[in-house]
Amino acid sequence: MNAEVIKTDAVIVGAGPVGLFAVFELGLNDIKCHLVDILDRPGGQCAELYPEKPIYDIPAIPSCTGAELTERLLEQGKPFNPTFHFGQMVESLEKTPEGKWRLTTDRGTVFESTIVVIAAGGGSFVPKRPPIKGIEAYENKSVFYAVRKMEQFRGKRLVIAGGGDSALDWTINLQPIASHITLVHRRDEFRAAPDSVSKMRALVAEGKMDLKIANLSTLNGADGQLASVTLKEDGKDAYDMPCDNLLAFYGLTMKLGPVANFGAELQDNLLPVNTADFETNLPGVFAIGDINTYPGKMKLILSGFHEAALMAKKAFAMVHPDRRYRFQYTTSSSDLQDKLGVSDAA
């Protein structure tokens, strides 16, 4: 059975700050967007790597965290009703006989769009694999690096490894439905939000889960199904912890991933673009933000915002070839203010 094709004006690959601002710039030009991101939430590197870390170089905002910037950009793009597709990666890009771009994700979602905007930062975030021999045989069977459906883990004995927000969040969220949860971390200090750490410790104190300060050393099982994991605590003999599934949250690394196979020209694992509209060598495929390169390129969020504005102007000509582009200011254009839903306040 063929997947239903989602037809749209634009697909934005990447929902980080630059991709989110592209929603706003494209929306002002009557271009509807779908966004695809491998993460389970918007914000990209800002949300995943430094949600609480201050950013000081966003124009007119002396200081804001990555999470705050993401929230503001989502609010700014809200009038244009973008559609988000989280937890999936665009695997292929090809031209249709009608001249559209067809994108297919690793979850089988298929898009056809007039333009494609690659705003994938330094590439796709991919999970860091724990350094355990033979773990590949268990991956996507009983070892997982993300939670797509919580019900999959109902009634299971879970070992969750890691000390960051993802590990703590899923420990707390899965505890009510799992038969038992053991959180494993190499030290008794956590990088997660203090509130999450407090909730986890309360569950341990109430006897509702276990916390082991130990290292994972071995996986035990057959045919991809775990029976137990071997843990090693400092100064103690190794022992086996029975479990059905291991959820490993060891952080993320960045790889260019399938973008490298899209057919666009590459230069040092980046996408060369022209500086008039940030189009790649593929007509209708743009690259903005840290994924692109050109003479004088600076890897700053504000640079990506500028690139999004010029990209949207060229995109308008492609999506609306029968219409004449009119440059307008949001401060004085009643048309743009209507689109933003602020005409009554003007």
Domain boundaries, the chain: 5-125+253-345, 129-250
Which are the contacts of 161, defined by CB distance < 8 A and separation ≥ 6?
130, 167, 183, 184, 185, 216, 246, 247, 248, 249, 250
H or E stretch including 306?
helix 301-319
Contact 97, 289 (CB under 8 A): no
Fold classification of 5-125+253-345 is: FAD/NAD(P)-binding domain (3.50.50)
CA atoms within 13 A on the CB side of 144: 19
Of 52, 119, 36, nearest in space to 315 by CA? 119
Of 220, 168, 163, nearest in space to 188 by CA? 163
The token pair at 112 is: 């056809």
**Domain 5-125+253-345 identical in fold to domain 129-250:** yes
Beta strands 33-37 and 83-86: pairing type? Answer: parallel
Could you give the CA distance from residue 187 to residue 189 in angstroms, rounded to a whole number?
A: 6
Which are the contacts of 3, defined by CB distance < 8 A and separation ≥ 6?
108, 109, 110
Confidence at residue 1, expressed as pLDDT on a 0 to 100 scale: 45
Confidence at residue 345, expressed as pLDDT on a 0 to 100 scale: 58
Which are the contacts of 38, defined by CB distance < 8 A and separation ≥ 6?
87, 88, 89, 124, 125, 126
The token pair at 131 is: 């350094």
Contact 108, 85 (CB under 8 A): no
Which are the contacts of 241, defined by CB distance < 8 A and separation ≥ 6?
159, 182, 184, 212, 228, 229, 230, 231
Is it true that domain 129-250 has CATH number 3.50.50.60?
A: yes
Q: Tens digit of pLDDT per residue, the chain (346 long)?
A: 456 899 999 999 999 999 999 999 999 999 999 999 988 889 887 776 666 678 899 999 999 988 899 999 999 999 999 999 998 889 999 999 999 999 999 899 999 999 999 998 876 666 788 989 999 999 989 999 888 788 999 999 999 999 998 899 999 999 999 999 999 999 999 988 899 999 999 999 999 999 999 999 999 999 999 999 999 999 899 999 999 999 999 877 766 667 878 888 989 889 999 999 999 999 999 999 999 999 999 999 999 999 999 999 999 999 999 999 999 999 999 999 999 999 765 4
